[in-house]
A and B are shown apart, each in its own frame.
Chain A
Amino acid sequence: MSILVDKNTRLIVNGITGREGSFHTQQMIAYGTNVVGGVTPGKGGEKFEGKTPIFDTVREAKEATNANCAIIYVPPRFAPDSIYECIDAEIQLIVCITEGIPIQDMIRVRSVLDRSKSRLIGANCPGLLTPGQAKVGIMPGYIATPGNVGVVSKSGTLTYEVVNALTQRGMGQTTCVGIGGDPVNGTSFIDVLQMFQDDPETEKIVLIGEIGGTDEQKAAEFIATKMTKPVVSFIAGRTAPPGRTMGHAGAMVEGGVGSAEEKIEKLRAAGVKVAMHPEQIPDLL
Chain B
Amino acid sequence: MNLHEYQAKLRFGEFGIPVPKGKVATTPEEAFDIAREMGKPVVIKAQVLTGGRGKAGGVKVAKTPDEARDKASQILNMDIKGHIVYKVLVDPAVDIKSEIYLSITNDRAAKRPLLMASSAGGMEIEQVAHEMPEKLIREYIDPSLGLRDFQVRNVAAEIGLPRAHWKQFGEIASALYRCYIDSDATLVEINPLAIVGTGDSEQIMALDGKFSVDDNALFRHADLAEKRDLQEEPPEETRARAAGISYVKLDGNIGCMVNGAGLAMTTMDLTKYFADELGATNVGPANFLDIGGGAKADRVAAALRIILADPKVKVVLFNIFGGITRGDEVARGILQALEEVKTPIPMVIRLAGTNSEEGLKLINEAHLPNLVGASSLADAARKAVQIAQGA
Please list the residues of chain A having a beta carbon within 8 angstroms of any beta carbon in chain B.
Answer: 27, 76-77, 100-105, 107-108, 110-112, 138-140, 142-143, 153-161, 164, 181, 183-184, 208, 210-214, 234, 236-241, 244-251, 255-256, 260, 276-279
* B184 touching A213, Cβ below 8 Å: no
Q: How far is the CB of A246 from chain B (nearest CB, A)?
A: 5
Known contacts A184-B106, A214-B109, A277-B378; is-contact A104 B184 (Cβ 8 Å): yes
Secondary structure type dominating chain A contacts: loop
Known contacts A160-B321, A160-B353; is-contact A208 B262 (Cβ 8 Å): yes
Q: Name B264's closest neighbour in chain A (CB-CB).
A: A247
Which of A110, A140, A246, A278 has a CB less than 8 Å from the CB of B323?
Answer: A140
* B216 touching A100, Cβ below 8 Å: yes
* B246 touching A247, Cβ below 8 Å: yes
Known contacts A77-B220, A161-B352; is-contact A210 B269 (Cβ 8 Å): no
Which of B111, B181, B260, B354 has a CB less than 8 Å from the CB of A110?
Answer: B111
* B265 touching A236, Cβ below 8 Å: yes
* B272 touching A77, Cβ below 8 Å: no
Interface residue B364 (Cβ < 8 Å from any Cβ of A): no
Known contacts A107-B106, A107-B113; is-contact A236 B324 (Cβ 8 Å): no
- Contacts of B340 on A, CB cut-off 8 Å? none
* A156 touching B262, Cβ below 8 Å: yes
The stretch among B11-19, B27-35, B158-166, B284-292 that forms the contact with chain A is B284-292
Alpha-carbon distance A132/B381, docked complex (angstroms): 33
Interface residue B61 (Cβ < 8 Å from any Cβ of A): no
Q: How far is the CB of A247 from chain B (nearest CB, A)?
A: 3
Alpha-carbon distance A76/B263, docked complex (angstroms): 23
Alpha-carbon distance A244/B246, docked complex (angstroms): 12
Known contacts A108-B143, A157-B323, A246-B261; is-contact A101 B216 (Cβ 8 Å): yes
- Contacts of A107 on B, CB cut-off 8 Å? 106, 111-113, 143
* B268 touching A277, Cβ below 8 Å: no
- Contacts of A278 on B, CB cut-off 8 Å? 266, 377
* B111 touching A237, Cβ below 8 Å: no
- Contacts of A245 on B, CB cut-off 8 Å? 215, 248
* A161 touching B248, Cβ below 8 Å: no
Interface residue B126 (Cβ < 8 Å from any Cβ of A): yes
* A213 touching B109, Cβ below 8 Å: yes
Total A-B residue pairs with C-beta atoms closer than 8 Å?
Answer: 167
Known contacts A183-B108, A236-B262, A251-B261; is-contact A111 B142 (Cβ 8 Å): yes
Alpha-carbon distance A283/B214, docked complex (angstroms): 40
Alpha-carbon distance A247/B108, docked complex (angstroms): 17
Q: Name A258's closest neighbour in chain B (CB-CB).
A: B108
Secondary structure type dominating chain B contacts: mixed
* B324 touching A238, Cβ below 8 Å: no
Interface residue B154 (Cβ < 8 Å from any Cβ of A): no
Q: Name A248's closest neighbour in chain B (CB-CB).
A: B261
Q: How far is the CB of B105 from chain A (nearest CB, A)?
A: 9
Query: Which residues of B in the span 91-137 have a Cβ within 8 Å of any Cβ on A?
Result: 106, 108-109, 111-113, 126
* A158 touching B216, Cβ below 8 Å: no
- Contacts of B181 on A, CB cut-off 8 Å? 104
Q: Name A211's closest neighbour in chain B (CB-CB).
A: B265
Given contact pairs A102-B217, A159-B262, A260-B269, enumerate 13 new A-B contacts (beta carbons under 8 Å).
A77-B220, A103-B184, A111-B111, A139-B323, A156-B262, A161-B377, A234-B266, A236-B266, A236-B269, A237-B269, A240-B288, A247-B264, A279-B378
Interface residue B144 (Cβ < 8 Å from any Cβ of A): yes
Q: How far is the CB of A169 from chain B (nearest CB, A)?
A: 13
Q: How far is the CB of B187 from chain A (nearest CB, A)?
A: 9
* B324 touching A158, Cβ below 8 Å: no
Known contacts A157-B263, A236-B269; is-contact A247 B290 (Cβ 8 Å): yes
Interface residue B155 (Cβ < 8 Å from any Cβ of A): no
Q: Name B284's closest neighbour in chain A (CB-CB).
A: A239
- Contacts of B368 on A, CB cut-off 8 Å? none
* A277 touching B262, Cβ below 8 Å: no
- Contacts of A208 on B, CB cut-off 8 Å? 262
Interface residue B273 (Cβ < 8 Å from any Cβ of A): yes
- Contacts of A240 on B, CB cut-off 8 Å? 265, 268, 288
